[in-house]
Amino acid sequence: MSDRRDGAPEAAIDAENAVDSAADAESADPASPDGGHAAATPSTHTVRLELVDEPGQLLAALHPIADNGGNLLSIYHERGNKTPRGRIPVEVDFEATPERFEEIVDALRSEGVNVMQAGTERYAEEVTLLLFGHLIDTDLSDTLSRIEACESASVADVSLAAPQGTEEVSSARLRLEARAGETDAALAAVRELADEKELRVVEPLTGVDA
């Protein structure tokens, strides 16, 4: 029920702290190398990344930031925590102009680094759905990992109800976090998987504040 990864409130607090440290950093290092080229002034950004727990991964994720003119301020490596995909969440604060910030996020993505959250924009639209059928016989953990494997979404929360035992029909409520604008793609992926496993999906009415 509670393997939901750290939510927005904490991130928001961190971002505030980061603003303070940004002010310090600015006075300490006023001449950021490319600052003069951009019309907009640099501001502090916080990105939340998801890294595979292997040597060199952190450095590989920091390169696209530094190489694209981001001024690194702090790195919070949550080694004790795991994301639902079993990866390590890392929070990075850096300074960059708005244009550079976009480039950095793109560069991170093209390096294959999963950006879960960038700045104030959460790369997560929440969507809740129900699955029912022979969930357990069709290997629920495989079902969940395959939803996880889909680029658009990760599984934030699962509740299972199997009132008639594991061999009968059971139901699950899934909360997915999808990247902004990719909820439809995430739902389509779930639908396809459900078809394959002969499960039924009860989708939410997305985009309707009923």
Partner 1 sequence: MKLAVIGAGAVGRSVVELAGEHGHEVVAVADSSTAVVADGADGRGGDAVGVDPDAVVARKAERGIVGDDDPEDALAADYDVLVEATPTTLGDAEPGFSHVTTALERDRHAVLANKGPVAERFGDLRAAVDDSDGDIRFEATVGGAIPAVSTVEDIEPGHVTAVRGVLNGTANFILTRMAAEGLDYDHVLAEAQDLGVAEADPSFDVDGTDAALKCVILANVLSFGAVDDPADAREFTLDDADVSGIRDVPGSALRLAAEDGQTVRLIGEATGETVRVAPRLVPENGTLAVSGTQNIVQIETSHAGRLNISGRGAGGPETASAVLGDVGRLE
- State in angstroms the smallest separation of the CB of 167 from partner 1: 14
Helices 183-196 and 140-149: angle between axes, nearest 10 degrees: 150
Out of 92, 105, 118, 129, the residue judged to bind partner 1 by CB under 8 A: 129
Judge residue 76's burial from the number of C-beta atoms within 10 Å of its C-beta, 0-12 exposed, 13-18 middle, 19 or more buried: middle
- Nearer CB in complex with partner 1: 130/185: 130
Give backbone dihedrals phi and psi of 118, rounded to 5 degrees, phi first: -135, 125
Task: Give the CA count within 13 Å in the CB-facing half-sphere of 165.
Answer: 2
The answer to whether the CB of 108 falls within 8 A of the CB of 58 is no
Task: Give the CA count within 13 Å in the CB-facing half-sphere of 29.
Answer: 14
Contact map string, positions 132 to 171, toward partner 1, x by CB under 8 A = xx-------------------------x-xxx-----xxx
Q: Per rule CB under 8 A, is residue 2 in the interface with partner 1?
A: no
- State in angstroms the smallest separation of the CB of 198 from partner 1: 11
- State in angstroms the smallest separation of the CB of 192 from partner 1: 14
Provide the binding-site residues for partner 1, judged by CB under 8 A: 128-130, 132-133, 159, 161-163, 169-173, 200, 202-205, 208, 210
